[in-house]
């Protein structure tokens, strides 16, 4: 027997359903009385959340009739019995959090909706006396200190660089606003409550409180009130370690998105295309141990921890992304914060696949004496890795080392051993620790280096894809202090052998005696510290300066809110600038110090790595690569681009020797004469960079040029733009001559600068730590004293004869006392007897090592794209879209694929005659996919196609495993139409398709199983034109190959009429084209079997057709046989000025004429009566 279970129903068809059994099925008993008569529809607000400068009036409505709306203005949660009863529009003129709920007797109430209205004129005066805001407690009820209000010393400051009303409001409007709203008793001990803010050291679910989170993007010219991005109800907790101290008035938060509060996930791209598109949780992090609010610390930058997270991403490793925002707590400004992804199981599911329950996540548990714990999963795999590490330490053989990676002693052959270790992830994480001098990570200086504090590691336990534990930067705030800091250890401590205190550092120490591990260290160090790697001083400066540019725009607001928390004299933007400069001063000195530390530990060889010129990039096939290396060493490389060193240390069989022989030429000597300079504070735009620019009116001098240090050869004017304010920029140019520039194999430039610079060769930027195209009045903030930087330059930028180097040097601050510039440019020409020419197409790797005795150098690895072009609209096209596949078959359902969407795919075509570089090319929007690291390789051959699919396993089941699938995208194609966009790595649009499922788009692609196929993929203009697309000739489309159109279609006809070259041009072979100029489109020529390349007329003739004894007027036309996509209709009218009516859409008779054509006779349905009647045949294309 079957017992039906009614879960939801409605008395009225148009009404929202009523629910039975609390929205759940009720097996075992019969539903009787519904738990509600329906659900009240959500409240709507006439004014959305945002930024406002004038009073507003807000109406609250709901489509459900006969409801009561209750609202609050103090952040508290309205209920059916609490809150103000809404009777009419609400006037709002100051920062307000409006919360509302709609109720109806017997009906299910709405969720609580929240709208925050920010009035910055009001925000800057919040609690200016320091008193608690209205309704807020003056005391937390515990030892937790509270600090309220905006400091008048900053808000009313007369120096616009430090404060003032306009500056504070500009700072508040520089970043998105996140508004957190919750009942105040959830935060503080009020009326017997246990608030999380009053009890900051308590953790876990018991200390999670319901809250609302809103995201409001800042105002701009298009959106003067900003934009309301989302509101979500969530769980709110505090986060942090030592910063949970009750002496800290500004805590960090963590948001949990769960079904118990509303949506189970936050579906919003917090980090744009660069990060996850949905979240289970997110940390709202602020400055902690070095903050102004906690310790009144002058070292506060909001850059130390944040830049290390970004650095891990820049190393090519997964990690937490960074985004800054201003936080409001129940409408009160709470300061500058940033987003931090918690690298736990939900993070792993998002970025690595599978389910969060599949993962083990390990970390040091601060609340358990910093012992190891599993935040997700178990410790079993980590224990196994730890044990195998100890086994290796006792016997550091290759067999023991590679066993942790599931390989045999040869380092290549896979074994049945579980993959537990990701050596590159461990090494990169440890290198980040060492380079930044992190005192409180995988071993903590504050815990005597025998315990760890801040680190995470994760590994997929179930269905492991041969991937070991990965390690993640977390709370790297104790960094960038002592430039001589040595965190490399090894730390010989009691807990090193105690699993309870296991951590990445102790694991690293267990592996240090293995030669292969040390060699891998050498290679990773060289990758990141040289050749524009992530850890070069320039890239560190650029990384921090990019973040600092964001913080600088907002720091005055933080100063106004928290600058006086621990200091009678408030911390200011200048305090922050000083701290930033101290951090930047660490960067140029650090690499040689760390290299020496690593060499002392055997983690970097005693000999330098070879130098390869040019170092990769886009090159012509046949280009010469020039290699130089340390003295008394032999340089080895492999013809196939693999590592010339074999596991175990021998020279690999087949390795070739390169004999280095070069000569150097100083194109511009150090301290050269003949420099032209301009230091008058003027705006030179960008024209001054070009070699043809006329600098004859500029002054001339000998380097070093500058002022203020006393060591200048030429003292230039220290021009002031206002009293005490020096001009930001000085310009320098020098001409030089080059003969046979094609013979230059290496070009390096060395610059001495103070404070920041950008250098250009013949108008192309080749180096510097300034942002791109800095304004003439831009101050870099960083005050760097006489620093020297060397950069490798592409020799292809040299011209025969005259060339020009141009350099702009910017002051860090307007009151700087000095400025310096010196420069040299050195060319290297090869004279080797063993030249190395790289030939072929696509990507070509060159890996080179030096060998001196038994000592191998680190590997220099360069990637060349030979006869290959960057992706652009002229060489890539979206060529096929299968957005609505046929439903899965029974065998596909049995295999677990029940959704037709699993079989979606998109095809990309190389339309050019050269290879195209797909590295970094990406889809973003409806679906997301990055071709970086694609399974099909980096380069796409001429005419080749590559696929991205919805579900890789489903696709292979239906189409096989031999097609060129780059990978699996996230998201889904909409069957009702979608905007699909392909981008360059620089975020420029390559191609965009805005397809639809209604006419004039080919409607057959929506559900009949055929795909959309691009007609003229070389023509970007037709990407979103319905005439640019056809349907595939077969069910399932033609993934990975050219489509064969179905017989009897326009597209099949075109392939028989036009040449391949003509088919590629929409103006010739497109449906609406008229290549013969006879006034008839190609579709008409097809429908009536005329010639599209010859001006002619269709054949149409009047005839009689007899039915029984009655004569009927008819029209005879010539058409192709077997046409399936044209509707032919006989049209009739009694008056040429009247309406035409279709009287027949079926030929009464067809007469074959051979060679695929026929006569078709269309007969009037009405017998001839002698009255005047006009006939014609209409052909309608129905693709």
Q: According to DSSP H, which parts of 250-403 are helical?
A: 304-314, 345-352, 380-394, 398-403
CA 900 to each of CA 894, 947, 967, 995, 1043: distance values in angstroms, whole numbers, following the listed order: 14, 18, 18, 19, 22
pTM of the model: 0.88
List, in order, residues 6 or more apart from 87 with CB less than 8 Å away: none
pLDDT of residue 7: 46
List Cα–Cα distances, 21 to 8, 37, 453, in angstroms.
Answer: 9, 12, 48
Q: Which CATH number fits domain 611-661+834-866: 1.20.120, 2.60.40, 2.50.20, 1.10.10?
A: 2.60.40
pLDDT at 232: 98
Structure-token match 């190395």, residue found: 836
Straight-line distance from the first to the last Cα atom of the chain, in angstroms, rounded to the nearest whole number: 51
Strand order of the β-sheet with 965-968 is 965-968, 945-949, 905-910, 876-882, 1012-1014, 1029-1031
Q: What are the residue ranges spanned by the domains of the chain? A: 1-39, 47-123, 125-341+536-604, 353-531, 611-661+834-866, 666-828, 868-1044, 1100-1181
- Residue 770 is predicted with a pLDDT of 87
CA distance 956 to 1040: 13
What are the C-alpha distances in Å from 356 to residues 204, 283, 441, 895, 967?
19, 18, 25, 23, 21
Instruction: Provide the pLDDT for residue 786.
Output: 79
Instruction: Please report where in the chains the tokens 């194999």 appear, as a residue.
Output: 745
The per-residue pLDDT of the chain, averaged, comes to: 94
* Positions in the chain whose pLDDT score sits under 70: 1-34
d(CA 521, CA 544): 25
DSSP per-residue letters across 816-841: ---EEEEEEEEEEEE--SS-EEE-SS
**Domain 47-123, what architecture?**
Sandwich (2.60)
How buried is residue 625: exposed, middle or buried, by Cβ count under 10 Å (0-12/13-18/19+)? buried
Quick one: which H or E segment has residue 495? none
- CA–CA–CA angle 423, 426, 427 (5° rounding): 85
pLDDT digits (tens, 9 = 90+) for 329-348: 999 999 999 999 999 999 99
**Candidates 3.40.1180.10, 1.25.40.10, 3.30.2010.10, 2.60.120.260; correct CATH number of 666-828?**
2.60.120.260
Q: Running DSSP on this structure, what letter comes out for residue 541?
A: H
Residue 540, phi-psi category: left (phi > 0), alpha (psi -120 to 50), beta (remainder)? alpha
* Phi-psi sector, 985: left (phi>0), alpha (psi -120 to 50), beta: alpha
CB proximity list for 801: less than 8 A, separation 6 or greater: 737, 738, 739
CATH T-level fold of 1100-1181: Immunoglobulin-like (2.60.40)
What fold characterizes domain 868-1044? Immunoglobulin-like (2.60.40)
Q: Which of 95, 82, 91, 86 is nearest to 60 (CA)?
A: 86
Q: What is the pLDDT of residue 34?
A: 61
Sorted by sequence, the CB contacts under 8 Å of residue 501 that are 6+ apart come out as 364, 370, 371, 372, 450, 451, 452, 495
Q: How far apart are CA 755 and CA 752, in angstroms?
A: 10
Phi first, then psi: what are they for 1017, rounded to 5°? Answer: -65, -20
Which one, of 440, 474, 444, 445, lies nearest residue 457 by Cα?
Answer: 474
Query: Helix and strand tally (H, E) in the chain?
Result: 19, 66
Q: Do domains 611-661+834-866 and 1100-1181 have the same CATH topology?
A: yes
Per-residue model confidence (pLDDT) at position 1109: 84
Give, in order, the Cα–Cα distances in Å from 458 to each of 318, 342, 472: 11, 12, 9
């Amino acid at each position: 027997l079957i017992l039906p279970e009614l879960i939801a129903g409605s008395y009225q068809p148009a009404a929202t359903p009523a629910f039975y059994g609390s929205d759940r099925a009720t097996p075992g008993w019969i539903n009787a009385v519904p738990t509600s008569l329906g659900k009240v529809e959500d409240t709507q607000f006439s004014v959305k959340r945002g930024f406002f400068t004038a009073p507003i009036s807000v109406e609250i409505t709901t489509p459900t009739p006969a409801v009561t709306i209750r609202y609050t203005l103090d952040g508290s949660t309205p209920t059916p019995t609490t809150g103000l009863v809404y009777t009419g529009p609400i006037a709002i003129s100051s920062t307000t959090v409006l919360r509302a709920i709609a109720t109806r007797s017997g009906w299910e109430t709405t969720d609580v909706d929240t709208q925050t209205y920010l009035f910055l004129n009001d925000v800057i005066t919040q609690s200016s006396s320091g008193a608690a805001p209205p309704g807020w407690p003056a005391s937390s009820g515990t030892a937790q200190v509270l600090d309220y209000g905006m400091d008048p010393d900053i808000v009313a400051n007369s120096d616009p660089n430090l404060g003032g009303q306009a500056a504070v409001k500009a700072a508040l409007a520089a970043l998105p606003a996140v508004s957190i709203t919750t009942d105040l008793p959830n935060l503080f001990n009020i009326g017997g409550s246990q608030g999380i803010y009053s009890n900051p050291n308590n953790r876990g679910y018991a200390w999670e409180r319901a809250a609302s989170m809103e995201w409001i993007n800042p105002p701009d010219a298009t959106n003067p009130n900003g934009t309301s991005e989302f509101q979500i109800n969530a769980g709110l907790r505090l986060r942090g370690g030592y910063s949970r101290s009750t002496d800290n008035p500004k805590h960090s938060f963590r948001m949990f998105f769960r079904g118990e509060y509303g949506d189970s996930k936050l579906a919003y791209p917090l980090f744009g295309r660069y990060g996850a598109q949905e979240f289970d949780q997110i940390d709202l992090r602020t400055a902690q141990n070095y903050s102004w609010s906690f310790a009144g610390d002058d070292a506060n930058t909001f850059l130390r921890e944040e830049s290390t997270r970004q650095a891990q991403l820049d190393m090519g490793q997964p990690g937490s992304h960074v985004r800054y925002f201003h936080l409001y707590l129940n409408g009160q400004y709470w300061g500058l914060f940033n987003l931090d992804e918690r690298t736990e199981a939900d993070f792993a599911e998002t970025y690595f696949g599978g389910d969060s329950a599949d993962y083990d996540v390990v970390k040091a548990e601060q609340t358990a004496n910093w012992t190891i714990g599993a935040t997700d999963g178990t410790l079993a795999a980590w224990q196994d890795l730890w044990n195998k590490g100890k086994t290796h330490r006792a016997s550091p053989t290759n067999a023991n080392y590679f066993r942790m990676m599931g390989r045999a002693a040869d380092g290549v052959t896979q074994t049945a051993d579980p993959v537990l270790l990701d050596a590159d992830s461990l090494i990169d994480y440890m290198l980040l620790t060492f380079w930044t001098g992190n005192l409180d990570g995988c071993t903590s200086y504050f815990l005597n280096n025998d315990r760890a504090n801040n680190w995470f590691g994760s590994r997929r336990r179930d269905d492991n894809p041969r991937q070991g534990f990965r390690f993640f930067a977390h709370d790297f705030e104790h960094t960038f202090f002592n430039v001589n800091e040595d965190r490399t250890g090894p730390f010989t401590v009691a807990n090193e052998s105690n699993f309870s205190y296991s951590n990445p550092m102790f694991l690293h120490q267990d592996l240090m005696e293995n030669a292969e591990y040390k060699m891998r260290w050498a290679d990773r160090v060289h990758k990141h510290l040289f050749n524009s790697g992530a850890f070069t001083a320039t890239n560190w400066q650029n990384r921090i300066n990019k973040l600092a540019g964001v913080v600088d725009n907002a720091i005055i607001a933080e100063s106004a809110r928290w600058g006086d928390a621990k200091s009678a004299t408030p911390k200011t933007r200048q305090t922050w600038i000083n701290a930033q400069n101290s951090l930047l001063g660490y960067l140029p000195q650090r690499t040689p110090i760390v290299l020496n530390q690593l060499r002392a530990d055997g983690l970097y060889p005693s000999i330098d790595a070879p130098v390869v010129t040019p170092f990769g990039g886009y090159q012509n096939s046949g280009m010469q690569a020039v290699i130089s290396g340390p003295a008394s060493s032999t340089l080895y490389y492999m013809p196939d681009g693999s590592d010339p060193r074999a596991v175990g240390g021998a020279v690999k069989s087949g390795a070739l020797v390169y004999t280095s022989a070069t000569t150097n030429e100083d194109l511009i000597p150090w301290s050269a004469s003949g420099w032209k300079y301009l230091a008058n504070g003027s705006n030179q735009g960008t024209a001054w960079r070009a070699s043809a620019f006329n600098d004859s009116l500029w002054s001339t001098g000998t380097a070093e040029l500058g002022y203020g240090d006393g060591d200048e050869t030429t003292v230039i004017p220290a021009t002031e733009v206002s009293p005490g304010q020096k001009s930001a920029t000085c310009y320098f140019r020098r001409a030089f001559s080059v003969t046979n520039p094609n013979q230059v194999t290496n070009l390096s430039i060395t610059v001495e600068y103070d404070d920041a610079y950008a250098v250009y060769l013949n108008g192309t930027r080749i180096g510097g730590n300034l942002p791109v195209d800095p304004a003439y009045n831009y101050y870099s903030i960083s005050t760097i004293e006489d620093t020297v930087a060397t950069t490798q330059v592409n020799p292809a930028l040299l011209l025969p004869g005259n060339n020009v180097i141009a350099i702009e040097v910017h002051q860090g601050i307007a009151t700087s006392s000095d400025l310096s510039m010196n420069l040299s440019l050195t060319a290297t020409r090869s004279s080797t007897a063993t030249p190395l020419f790289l030939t072929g197409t696509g990507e070509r790797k060159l890996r080179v090592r030096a060998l001196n005795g038994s000592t191998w150098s680190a590997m220099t690895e360069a990637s060349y794209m030979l006869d290959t072009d960057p992706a652009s609209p002229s060489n890539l096209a979206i060529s096929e879209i299968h957005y609505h596949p046929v439903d899965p078959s029974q065998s596909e359902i049995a295999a677990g694929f029940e959704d037709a969407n699993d079989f979606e795919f998109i095809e990309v075509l190389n339309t050019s005659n050269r290879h195209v570089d797909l590295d970094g090319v990406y889809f973003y929007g409806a679906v997301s996919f990055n071709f970086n690291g694609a399974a099909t390789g980096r380069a796409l051959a001429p005419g080749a196609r590559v696929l991205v699919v919805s579900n890789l396993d489903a696709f292979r089941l239906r189409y096989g495993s031999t097609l060129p699938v780059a990978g699996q995208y996230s998201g889904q194609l909409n069957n009702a139409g979608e905007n699909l966009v392909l981008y360059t790595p620089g975020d420029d649009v390559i191609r965009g398709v805005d397809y639809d499922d209604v006419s004039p788009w080919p409607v057959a692609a929506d559900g009949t199983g055929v795909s959309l196929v691009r007609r003229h993929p070389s023509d970007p203009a037709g990407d979103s034109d319905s005439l640019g697309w056809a349907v595939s000739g077969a069910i399932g489309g033609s993934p990975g190959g050219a489509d064969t159109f179905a017989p009897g279609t326009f597209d099949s006809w075109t392939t028989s009429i036009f040449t391949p070259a003509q088919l590629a041009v929409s103006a010739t072979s497109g449906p609406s084209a008229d290549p013969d100029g006879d006034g008839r489109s190609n579709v008409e020529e097809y429908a009536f079997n005329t010639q599209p390349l010859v001006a002619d007329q269709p054949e149409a003739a009047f005839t009689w057709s007899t039915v029984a004894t009655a004569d009927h007027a008819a029209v005879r036309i010539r058409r192709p046989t077997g046409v399936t996509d044209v509707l032919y209709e006989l049209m009739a009218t009694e008056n040429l000025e009247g309406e035409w009516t279709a009287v027949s859409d079926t030929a009464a008779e067809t007469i074959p004429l051979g060679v695929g054509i026929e006569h078709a006779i269309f007969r009037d349905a009405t017998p001839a009566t002698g009255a005047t009647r006009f006939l014609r045949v209409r052909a309608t294309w129905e693709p």
